[in-house]
Structure 1
């Protein structure tokens, strides 16, 4: 517009027109369009139909509004509370039912922990310190898995992680998981060892289980979004509560199994 206003009346439009670096089509997804504009370093682009005729101009305001909607929807689905509508724009019962669908499913999944604990009841009764640090183990591993999951989902959304470097991402997170597992295993060993009534073997059991659960949680939290993206499913559908619940159940199983192997012959 500035070029048109500052040039002489006899100036041809062809002399002042600026060719767009990106041309979008009506059927392009918003996230894809935003990525293309971000990579090109521009904030607007023409939108054409199937025949190549101009139908609209995508401007920064359009992008910001749609990105806000997408971000809200992603946060809602990632937290397992649904998505697609505004908070006050959603009827209360619909909001509750949407949440309870997730919560009841996770409740049933989490209840598997009771089956595992019942199976290993004799070991836990003899070594109560195992039960004392059960939540420490599952909570820490769940946090580690959520960190990896969030970073991978963010990388997929921005285009930094793509089909060309997915294996590199997985390998990088695997190395990070091993390093974190060593650090957290050492910290958990020291913490359990300081507890009155704890034994050396009990500390080792919690330490080994911590390392194994952390590695499993990080790899699962990394691989699942990558796999969902590979099959065209939005990785955000892999909600954080689901990862946390799966980590809890697997952490209980790993700790009880390790404790049974190391402590079964000890009073």
Structure 2
């Protein structure tokens, strides 16, 4: 481990020194060859485009291809722009059609077209098929290279067919069974084929397939894929004909990308297109500044509420002491509800039509949470500041928890209904909304109870 870290540090130092001499390049190649693929991927992701291209050029063919396949499409595109044409052609040729399509999405149209025309006819046809689907459709992420079996085949014939085409598809562990028009009749696992007698017919072994249409939204399909605990999923066209297969690595990559995007937006920022250490400072600032400006402007509402109730604060100064507690409670309650409902939407546990049920459920959850917190507020504030103030605190905590839970559960559903990303209604937005509304509730209750 110590040796690996020392080698990694040495390669980093060489890259930052921008080696140009033959001796330096030989040393860089020697030390890079000793690093595992994971470390090489880390170096490419966290270095600028020129350094990444320099490192890539000294790798042997096998290392270079493995590293390239581990990169995200936008990182691949940056690297392609900095590499020489012969090496680019070699890389493009070895990519799977779905990975190639994702890369072409990130490249300038002229470059993508030139690389596409450089492929042989079969590879070009498969890549064009994948590129024909919308960017958010699962058809864009399927592999069109798939081995299909026919129901009348025997196990022996099926295995011979698999062996004859074993180098073509991305996976062979789940094999679709199709009829003469390529409509999917079922699927059979390779393990099942290997365990059966050679004379058994394929249709006697096939079971119902979990399918997806190529036009379906990618996140929904990927989450269904993982929920079903599949290794692969046949992808069909609108008439049920087999057009490709989705593998577990592609499904997981989709979910990782979606979760990273949701996580960033929940925190009030846009996701970064490059690794954090390789992203320019100004690009990080741009990813954060928009939400900060929006939230700063919306926070003026809170100031306006405080100004409106300034006379009440002057009359009972102790009310100001509880403002941070109440705004924090409202924001946290709303964020909890929003996070839970957003997750339920993502995995298909909740749909937009369930809005009334979600509101009623969150109202009861908020009432229960508010009863517990309100009782604590009543007792503690009552002991130190008198019973009237305790009553104000108890009732306010109850009302704020109910309001925040309903708002937090409602916003992701509204976003989904209007076609927006539920994560856009991020935690900072909900916190700001609940702050202003919570203060209105607080001072309204205080005015009524304390006769202000």
Is TM > 0.5 for Structure 1 vs Structure 2? Answer: yes
Q: 1:137 aligns with which of 311, 326, 329?
A: 326
Cα distance change, pair 32–95 in 1 and its aligned pair in 2 (3 A): same
Please say if residues 45 and 57 of structure 1, whose CA atoms lie closer than 8 Å, have aligned partners that are also in contact: yes
Equivalent residue number for residue 258 of structure 1? 445
Q: Corresponding residue for 1:47?
A: 235
What's the TM-score, normalizing by structure 2? 0.53
The equivalent of 2:152 in structure 1 is: none
173-182 or 34-43: bigger deviation? 34-43
Q: Match of 1:80?
A: 268
Are 1:159 and 2:348 matched, yes or no?
yes
1:4 deviates by 5.4
Task: Give structure 1 regions of 4+ aligned residues with deviation exceeding 6 angstroms.
Answer: 6-9
Q: Per-residue CA shift, 1:218-253, capped at 9, x if unaligned? A: 111111112222233221111010001111111122
Question: What residue is the counterpart of 1:229 in the other structure?
Answer: 416
Instruction: Report SS of the residue matched to 1:98.
Output: helix
2: distance between equivalents of 1:151 and 1:235? 12
Q: Distance in 1 between matches of 2:400 and 2:205?
A: 60
In the superposition, relative to structure 1, how do residues 184 and 3 fare at CA in structure 2: closer, same or farther (>3 Å)?
closer
Equivalents in 2 of 1:264, 1:61: separation in Å? 64
Pair 1:114 & 2:307 matched: no
Would the aligned equivalents of 1:182 and 1:211 in 2 still touch at CA under 8 Å? yes
CA distance in 1, matches of 2:286, 2:399: 36
> 1:18, 1:253 → 2: CA distance?
63
Aligned residues: 262
Shift of 1:92: 2.2
Aligned to 1:69: 257
Q: Is contact 1:22–1:36 with CA below 8 Å preserved after alignment? A: no
83-92 or 255-264, which moves further after superposition?
83-92
Q: Quick one: higher RCO (CA 8 Å, sep 6+), 1 or 2?
A: 1
Tell me how far 1:79 sits from its aligned partner.
Answer: 1.4
Aligned mates of 1:179, 1:126 — CA distance in 2: 32
SS at 2:244's partner residue?
A: strand
Partner residue in 2 for 1:246 = 433
Q: Which has the larger radius of gyration?
A: 2
Q: Which structure 2 residue ranges, 5 or more long, are not aligned?
A: 1-189
Aligned CA-pair RMSD: 2.5
